[in-house]
Chain A
């Protein structure tokens, strides 16, 4: 399960929290699989249920990315990946954030188009134990089941996501919130259809889509900041993380007149002290270290602080 636990070394306590989070996500994947199966059985030809089902499929992405990242991100660096694999976390977070955004957009699109087209959802019956039962009742039962695991698991993820500075886990908690909210909306929608309100389902989905879309946009913005080597952001807002501010302030205090470049790679931070933010290697350094024709591409050469401290080795 853990090919590499070497790079970087993290405190015992964090190690434990990470294992706990992996277990949470494996449970999430398991329950998602059961939900997808149950929903598929009762889906029939209902467009509304199909939408809910596609959302459940999208929900696989964040937990899958989390487990993949936890498994991959601490593999030791090698010749081909000299920084290690921390960026797996950045990539996973970007994909998870996109999943949330796509889900919100899809919900809104389905809702608006079916309202505009005055789409009357048709839901028939199935034979169950010799009785004809309206499929809507079964759909409501399936949707009710689909709400329970996300409510519980989503709440359980909030704390570890803070402790581990884990954006994928945090996005997944948002996804779980979206899941149970769409579930409740779906139940209300089908209850509406039962009493003859054809528009109830689409309207309920539309209302939910706004909060999902908002979470999706926020997360994609944070993910883009990370991919663009932005200064580390807070878990669920585009604000600069207080820890990053503190590191920058401390480094500037120790190196008066310098600037600090700081970015995050997955859950880890990297800082470089430079003369100014526009600092780059001089022509001289380039000639010294550069590889001939490609020397213009070398813009930074950095020494790690700990290299100088013999006792830290």
Chain B
């Protein structure tokens, strides 16, 4: 909080500034909003922290990643395993929740636009409040 307060790190593409006081656009693949209560809580915390409205946008995952890379959406949610192959195209948050895949429990994360370290720091700080 102390370090986040001094405005560093910043985003190269200013995601935090685009969201603050406006709309947090969350990409999602399955339902209209994440089925995982922890994920929903984390998103709501982040929106509150940045004084923004949450808007969910449903889409196909590859399309969502492309849109994320262009800054059209701000994060992707919905049981993304931390071992996701999209780790090279996106930035991954700290674990939010977990899901069982093939009988094994895997931690899940949010995907953000690469290099938006200020936004990632805001998000992880907000998530801290939900645990």
Query: Chain B residues with Cβ under 8 A from A133's Cβ?
Result: 3
| A124 in contact with B114 (CB, 8 Å) | no
Query: Chain A residues with Cβ under 8 A from B92's Cβ?
Result: 45, 122, 124
A137 at the interface (CB under 8 A from B): yes
- Count chain B CB atoms within 10 A of each CB in A136, A196, A197 and give the residue with the most: A196
Query: Chain B residues with Cβ under 8 A from A137's Cβ?
Result: 3
| B125 in contact with A125 (CB, 8 Å) | yes
Question: Which residue in A120, A124, A127, A194 is a CB contact (below 8 Å) of B128?
Answer: A127
Smallest beta-carbon distance A49→chain B, Å? 14
- Sorting the interface of chain B by its residue count into under 10, 10 to 19, 20 to 34 or 35 or more gives 20 to 34
Query: Can you name 9 A-B pairs with beta carbons within 8 Å?
Result: A120-B113, A120-B115, A122-B114, A125-B94, A125-B120, A132-B1, A134-B8, A136-B9, A196-B9
User: Complex Cα distance A131/B12, Å?
Assistant: 24
| A134 in contact with B12 (CB, 8 Å) | no
B10 at the interface (CB under 8 A from A): yes
| A132 in contact with B9 (CB, 8 Å) | no
User: Complex Cα distance A247/B87, Å?
Assistant: 62
| B125 in contact with A193 (CB, 8 Å) | no
Smallest beta-carbon distance B129→chain A, Å? 9
Query: Chain A residues with Cβ under 8 A from B12's Cβ?
Result: 120, 196-198
A195 at the interface (CB under 8 A from B): yes
| A193 in contact with B87 (CB, 8 Å) | no
Question: CB-nearest residue of chain B relative to A126?
Answer: B94
Known: A132-B125, A137-B3. A121 touches B9 (CB 8 A): no
A123 at the interface (CB under 8 A from B): yes
Mark contacts of A115-155 with chain B using CB atoms, 8 A cut-off: 1 yes-contact digit, 0 otherwise: 00001111111110001111011000000000000000000
| B10 in contact with A196 (CB, 8 Å) | yes
| A195 in contact with B128 (CB, 8 Å) | no
Mark contacts of B1-17 with chain A using CB atoms, 8 A cut-off: 1 yes-contact digit, 0 otherwise: 11110001111111000
User: Complex Cα distance A195/B124, Å?
Assistant: 18
Known: A45-B92, A120-B115, A122-B117. 4 other contacts (CB 8 A): A125-B124, A134-B121, A194-B8, A195-B10
Smallest beta-carbon distance A69→chain B, Å? 42
User: Complex Cα distance A216/B127, Å?
Assistant: 47
Known: A45-B92, A194-B10, A198-B12. A124 touches B121 (CB 8 A): yes
B91 at the interface (CB under 8 A from A): yes
Smallest beta-carbon distance B106→chain A, Å? 16
Query: Chain A residues with Cβ under 8 A from B124's Cβ?
Result: 124-125, 132
| A123 in contact with B114 (CB, 8 Å) | no
User: Complex Cα distance A283/B10, Å?
Assistant: 80
Question: CB-nearest residue of chain B relative to A195?
Answer: B10
Question: CB-nearest residue of chain B relative to A190?
Answer: B9
Question: CB-nearest residue of chain A relative to B126?
Answer: A132
Known: A121-B115, A124-B120. A194 touches B94 (CB 8 A): no
